[in-house]
Each structure stands twice: as structure tokens, then as C-alpha cells.
Structure 1
Amino acid sequence: MTDLGTPVRTAWSARGWAVYLGWVVITLDGSALNLALPTIAKQLQAQDGGISWVVDAYTLPLASLLLLGGSLGDRLGVERLFRVGAVGFAAASVACALSPAIGVLIVCRAAQGVFAALLVPMLLALVGKSFTDPRHRSSAVNLMTVFGGVGMAAGPFLGGLLTDTVGWRAVFWLTAPIAIAAASLVGPADQEYAAHQRFRFDTAGQITGTAGLVALAAGLIEAGNDTPGGLVWALLAAGVVLLGAFVVIEHRSITPMMPLKVFRSAGFTGAVIGGFAFQFGAYGLQFFLAVHLQAAWGVSALTGGLLLVSFAVGVVLASAIVNPYLLPRGTRPMILIGSAAAAFGTLALLGATGAERWWLLVAAEFMIGAGTGIYSTGLNKTASTSLGAQNAGLASGIYNTARQVGQSVGIAVLGAFAVAHDGRAGYLAAIALVACCAAAIAATELRVRRAAFA
């Protein structure tokens, strides 16, 4: 027991299972849906732009509302927001499964994104505040990575299997019971966090921050579609201006949604930068390769998914075997070793120039996944603990916002390389950029450590 009467939980407690299942819901939903999209387009008679918004309608609210979700968690209770997010996500998933038309499905996907924005920042927040023993906290962070890898690995198989045998609607039914189970396992709020604080909403900050991220994310997403260039640039410019206004407002606000003083923590700032580079490189690369393999190698979507599954296998095995050894030694070796392995695997892709080199692609993806599983656990732990338990929701919201924005930027930029007229030049540029992301993660960690001891 702690001094305040809070039980010392283990990583395998009910609270831990709530976190792991919540993360499985998010990773499984994202990885399973892709294989169902062509069938959805055919059965609901969707145009190309309409089916792309089945994905985009989820991404936009998730990217833009994560910070608000994290802030609300600290004020209204992390456990309460977790339950609202999980149950709401389950309800939206059921609505998606029952959608009679593409327009209804898009609206329901947007609702999924809103509730995911409440759920995702609560995952790391629960880890940061619930596991008072550093050993159990480290194990919980590592198990999040393991279960996330399982969700990523199982998603393509289950998505393809359910779509071909039961129908695409079963993909949405898949996540609903898991989300309900997560909500039922989280339990009541700990005593020291049970009292809800009275607070004033940072209305101006929330409007400018949310609108800025929506505009920026929409511009990046639409840059990969057939949207007129003028509209894309207008969205990007509006996003930059609004986010600039958001920073000014937060600097002057008495009750800011994102207190800028949190960036005085070198460790937290490094984790935020690393989180952006992590999602840009690791997940942007998976999107790029999925497109590249079909366009350049001529493989089917399912075959491409099978070739890339070694990434998720690498994440799971590294998290299960390597991380328990490295976690007691701190996050620095995890971030440095993991980013080095990811960079090495990325550069190995330079040799995977055709279908006859499929084995090199599989091996490189495994190495990238293993490195990602190691360094992402280090980043997650740093982000969840750097600002203390009372700011766990805020820290998780900022960190996950950086990750989601990084993923959106990565998909937009690397997606452009994937459809470049000069396929080889686009491939080389994408690989070089992703390798630079891994190097940036290591460089940021080294700089953070120097600043901490200066």
C-alpha cells in the first residue's frame, strides 16, 4: 500500500489488462480495416474520394482532439474518461457495422475518432498514475508494446478473413466487445484522484488548437488525393496560422490547455520530438511499402500484408525478449539501441529492389519492427513519467498528439514518394528520410541527456 492507501498494482492486474485491451482495440481497428476497404467501396457504391474518407474521418478528430482528451482526463478523472472513451468507441463501432450507406459510415467513423481521442491519452495516463512501483510501471509500458504488436499482427489476417467469410461489417463488430471488456476492467478512481477539480475551459486555446490541427491534418491528407493545390495550401497555411495563435494564447492564458512550462522538462520534450519522428518513420514507412509493393512488385494487397507482417512480429518479440532485460537499465539504452536497429533495418531495404529479394524485405522489416518495439517503449515510459502522476493525462495527450501528427505527415510525404513518376528515386528518397527519422530519435536522446547533466 502507498501512504495514501492506494494498492500497489502489478502489471498483470485488472487495471493493466484494461490498458492492454484498450491499446489492442486501437491497433486492431487500424490494421484490420485496410483490407476491408475495397469490399466496402463495392458494396456501398462509394466513389474513390468517399472511401478515402472512411479512413480520413477517423484520423482527423483523433489527431486534433488528443490534447483536449488528455487535459480533460486530468480534470475529470482518468478512469472516467477511459470508460467514456472505451464505451463510446464500442458504440460507434456497432454503428459503423450497421451503416446502410457510405455517408453514414463516414459519420460513424468520425465518432470513433472522437472517442479514440478520449481513450488513447488515458492509456499512458493510467500507466503513469496506477503503477506506483517502478518495476511494475516498466513492465506495464512494455506489455503495452507487446499487445499493440499483437493487434498490428493480427489485424491484417483477421480483417481479410472476416471480410472474405463473414463480410466487412464483422471487422467493426470485432473491436466492440474488446472495448467493453477494457471499460469493465479499469475499476474506480484511486482515492487521491477521486475528487474532481473545478476548472475553467481554455476555450480560445481549445478552438485554435483543435482547428489548427484539423486544418493541418486535412491539408496533409488531401495533398495525397486529387484535391486542387490551392485548397491544400490554404488548409496548410490556415493550420500554421491557427497553431501559431494557439501558442500565443497558451502563453498568456491563466488556465492553459497545454501549459508551455511542461517543455522545460528536457526528458518530456525529447519524448515528444521522438514520438513525432517515431510515427513519421515507422508507420509512414509501412504505408509507403504497402503502396510500393503493389505498384512496383505487382503483388496483391493480401500478399503485401503478409510480406510486411514481420514488422509486427519484430515488435512483439523484441518487447517480450529484449525489453525486460533493458528496462531496468533505464530508457536511454532502449532509445539508442532501438533507433540504431531501426536505422540499420531501414538501410537494408535499399537492397530489396524486386520481388526476387522478398526475403531481404522480410528480414529488414523484422529488424525495423524489433528496433521500433525497443525505442518506442523507452519513449512511452519517458512520456508517461516525466511530468508526474498529476499531469499524466496532459503528458499523454501532448505525446500522442505529436505521434498522430507525425503519422499524418509521414503518410502524406512518403505517400507522395510512393506514387512518384520515377519509382526508384521515390523509393530511395523514402528510405533515406525514414533512416533520418531513426537517427533523429537517437540524436535527440543524446542531446536531452547532455542538457540534463549540464
Structure 2
Amino acid sequence: MTVTTELPGTNTPPEPRGRAAGLALLSVCLGYFMVLLDGSALNIALPSIQQDVHGTMSTLQWLVNLYTIPLASLLLSSGALADRVGSRKVFMWALSGFALTSLLCALSPNLGVLIACRALQGVAAAGVLPTTLAIIARNYPVLADRAKAITVWGATGGIALVVGPIGGGLLTQTFGWRSIFLVNVPVGAFALWLSWRYAQETERRMERSYDLFGQLTAIASLGLIVAALIEGGARGWTDPYTLVLGAAGLLSLLAFALVEKRVAAPMLPLAMFRRRAFSAAITAGFAYQFGAFGLQFIIAIFIEAQWGYSASEAGTFLLPFAVLLTIGTSYLNRRWKTRGMRWLLLVGSSIATIGTVLCLAAGDEKTWPILAIGFGITGLGGGILAPSINGAALAEADSQYSGIASGVLNTFRQMGLAVGVAVLGAILAGGNRVTDLRIDLAIGALCFLTVALLSRRHIHR
């Protein structure tokens, strides 16, 4: 029998609080904005960082993935921790950590310190993301007001994707790459003060336990597998170091599966994957993130390293992708939602595939319009896909796992990003950048085709 323990005064929804609720919403939107902006802005700054620290392609992959790996691995546990101690408390601690680690990234004296600080930044981001919606729900008890607040929260993500490339490029070119991290410090401090002053704490539900061994094996398996993919591109796929990393990663993955199968309260209940439609939606989320944001990573590097674009020019180049992705998410997906998730998934994946295939015609710098327009079309399809995948996963999840389904999807999407950066980055490091880019684009198109096939066969809503 499960008993829910509630603290005094937390079982009655608060009354609407007007201005205070609005400022609480501002605090979580700023936190959400910072986490998303950090990723999109950093992609533009990667070549500048590479030149400054004399790094390699594997250096850039680690800068992205040592942020993404802890973020992906800790999302579910952060949600469980928030249930036990309160979402506001976890959000404030995580936001403090994110601002502090951003400062440490900016002050890093060498590459090793920078990569370590990026990993800590990913840990902090894992505490920010899953707590924002819970804080909104607590501070907006009236459903109509809550829906409007969530719309504002969602729009914040779109704004971050648009501002990231342009802002990251301008900051990098004007003040250097360290400014991308420094800007998080005052914004984070302001958001922290707002949440401390105006946000109300959420209920504490004590029935969720912490799966320590599952957490450790999850981090180890994802980290080692991604390491094998990155080092395989740098050292060679038959290098003993690469093979040892790959074998250790697979053993850790097996250990994770055994732990999750045997513990009483698993971090990732394996039984939820018995529903084929849910498994298809989760796999689609992985494939989408692999293709869309793995390609964003390598295209940003390609146009700066191969075509000699400045950071601000690269940011402008990627703007159509971000803008059309936002339009697809905020306008087209909502306009067409009555047609059903399956239809949206098929349309979105088809558009993304067409855009990515169009990019294959790009080569020398004179073909830049083809790459810019093609990748913009990819973004439009991705914008239709992303919320449709979310909706399909939640709709197809078994009712007993409805609460954790969103966290599982977000985890798999972040895993897709990490693996996409590792695989596509390893290919781009092959030597012939134009040929390598085309191989990456072909793989990206296959990812979107995979989403289409999964949707056609398994999604029925």
C-alpha cells in the first residue's frame, strides 16, 4: 500500500495571486530560457573555442556531450527528488548551480576545466527543466490561467531557439566565447531572486524513492557508449581504447536493465515499453533529436571551418532553421492538431526529410542558399514533429505510467542528441568535409524517415 505524505498547508491549492504568480512564471521562464539558449548559442561558438584552446573535433563533441549526458541521465531522478523535497527548492538549487557553473565555464583556464564545468552545468540543467511545469501548476491553480501560463512557457523555448544563434554569434564575435557563459550569471541571479520571493512551493509526495544503482548504471552506460562513438571517430573504430569503451558501455547498459528489472521502484520502469505504440513514440523522439540537432551541430562547424564564416554570420545562417522550427511548433502544429498525431507525425517527418535531402546538393560556398533553405525546411518539419511526438508518447503510455511518460520521452530525446553529436561529429572529422557533410545529411534524412515509418506502423491516434 502506498501512502502519500503531505506537509501541512500544502494539500489545498492556493488562490490565484495575480502579480506574484506572474513573477513566479517569469522566474521559471528565465530558467528554461537559459538552459535552452546555452545549447543553441554554444554551437555557434564551438569553432572559436576550438581555436582558442587548440582543440579537435572530439573536443567539441565532449563540450556538447558532457553537458547532455548528465542532463539526459538525471532528468528522471531530478523529477523524483522534486516530488520528495519540493519543486521550488530543487529549481532554486539547480538554478544557482547553473549560474555558478556558467561563471566557472567563463573563467576556465584550460580545456580540461571547461569540459568538467560543462558536465556540472548539465547536472544543474537536469534540475531546472523538470521542475518548471510543476511550479507553474502550483502557482496557477485555475486551469484556464494555467493553460495561458504554459503557453507563455512554451513560447519562451521558441524564443530561445531563435535568439540563440544570433545572440551567440554576436556575443562571440564582439566579446569572445566566454561571454556566452557570463550572460547566464546576472539572468540566473535575477530568476533566483524572483523564485525565492514569489514562487510557492509544490506538494511533497513521499512515495517516490531514489534509484541510486539505476542512476549510476544509466550515467555509466550512456557516457561510455557516447565516449566510444567520439573516440572511434578520433582514434579509429578498431583501436583498443575504442573497443574497451564500447564493451564497457554495453556491459553497463546490461547492468542497468538488470537493476531496473529487479528494484522495487525503478527509475525507468521497463514494463512501460511493452506497449508498442509508446515504444515507437519514444524511438521517434530519439531519432528526431539525433537528426535535427545532430545536424545543427555539424552544420555550424562546417560553415565556419569549411566556408570561413564568422560566428555572427554562422548565427544568421542558422536563423531560418530556428525561426521555421518555432513556426512549425507554435502555429502549424496547433492549427492542424485536429487531424491527429499520426497525420502530424507523417507530415512533419516528410517535410524534414525533403529539407535534409535538398541539403545534399550543397558543396562549395556558392551553394550556401541550398544549405540554408534546405535546413530551414528541415526545421519547419521538426517544429511540427516535436510537439506531435510529445503528444503521441503521452497518449500511448499506459495509464499507470502517465506521470513518468513525459520524463522518459525527454530522457530519450536528450540521449538522441548526445548520440547524434557523437556519430555525426565523428563522421565530419573524417578528412573530406564536403563528403562527410553529405554522409551526415543522408543519415539525418534516414532518421526522419524512421520517424515516418514508426508513425505509419504503430501510431494510430
Same fold (TM over 0.5): yes
1:221/1:21 CA distance change after superposition, 3 Å: farther
- 1:270 matched to 2:261? The reply is no
C-alpha offsets along residues 259-299 of structure 1, whole Å, 9 cap, x if unaligned?
Answer: 12232455543332121011111011112323333455454
Amino acid at match of 1:163: T
1:434/1:411 CA distance change after superposition, 3 Å: same
Amino acid at match of 1:25: M
Q: Equivalent residues in 2 for 1:7-86 (5 A)?
A: 17-37=26-46, 40=49, 48=56, 53-86=62-95
1:332/1:132 CA distance change after superposition, 3 Å: farther
In the alignment, which of 146, 157, 164 is matched to residue 155 of structure 1? 164
Q: Equivalent residues in 2 for 1:295-444 (5 A)?
A: 296-327=306-337, 329-383=339-393, 394-421=404-431, 425-444=435-454
Percent identity (aligned): 37
1:346/1:447 CA distance change after superposition, 3 Å: same
In the alignment, which of 198, 215, 222 is matched to residue 213 of structure 1? 222
1:354/1:173 CA distance change after superposition, 3 Å: same
- 1:113 matched to 2:122? The reply is yes
Amino acid at match of 1:73: A
1:19/1:373 CA distance change after superposition, 3 Å: farther
Q: Distance in 1 between matches of 2:406 and 2:69?
A: 18
- 1:239 matched to 2:249? The reply is yes
**Bigger mean CA offset, 377-386 vs 389-398:** 389-398
- 1:291 matched to 2:297? The reply is no
* Number of corresponding residues: 444
Supply the RMSD in Å over aligned alpha carbons: 3.7
Q: Distance in 2 between matches of 1:373 and 1:102?
A: 34
Q: Distance in 1 between matches of 2:17 and 2:353?
A: 36
What SS does the aligned partner of 1:257 have? coil
Aligned to 1:254: 264
What SS does the aligned partner of 1:254 have? coil
Amino acid at match of 1:377: P
What SS does the aligned partner of 1:324 have? helix
Aligned to 1:188: 200
Amino acid at match of 2:187: I
1:27/1:5 CA distance change after superposition, 3 Å: closer
Q: Which runs of 5+ in 1 are unaligned?
A: none
1:199/1:378 CA distance change after superposition, 3 Å: closer
1:365/1:37 CA distance change after superposition, 3 Å: closer
What SS does the aligned partner of 2:234 have? coil
C-alpha offsets along residues 220-256 of structure 1, whole Å, 9 cap, x if unaligned?
Answer: 2333334882212211221111111211221121121
Q: Distance in 2 between matches of 1:289 and 1:109?
A: 22
C-alpha offsets along residues 323-379 of structure 1, whole Å, 9 cap, x if unaligned?
Answer: 331345543333222222111211221333433332222221221111111110122
1:334/1:51 CA distance change after superposition, 3 Å: closer
Q: Which runs of 5+ in 2 are unaligned?
A: 1-10
Q: Distance in 1 between matches of 2:275 and 2:191?
A: 32
Q: Distance in 2 between matches of 1:130 and 1:328?
A: 30
Q: Distance in 2 between matches of 1:122 and 1:392?
A: 17
Alpha-carbon deviation of 1:197? 0.2
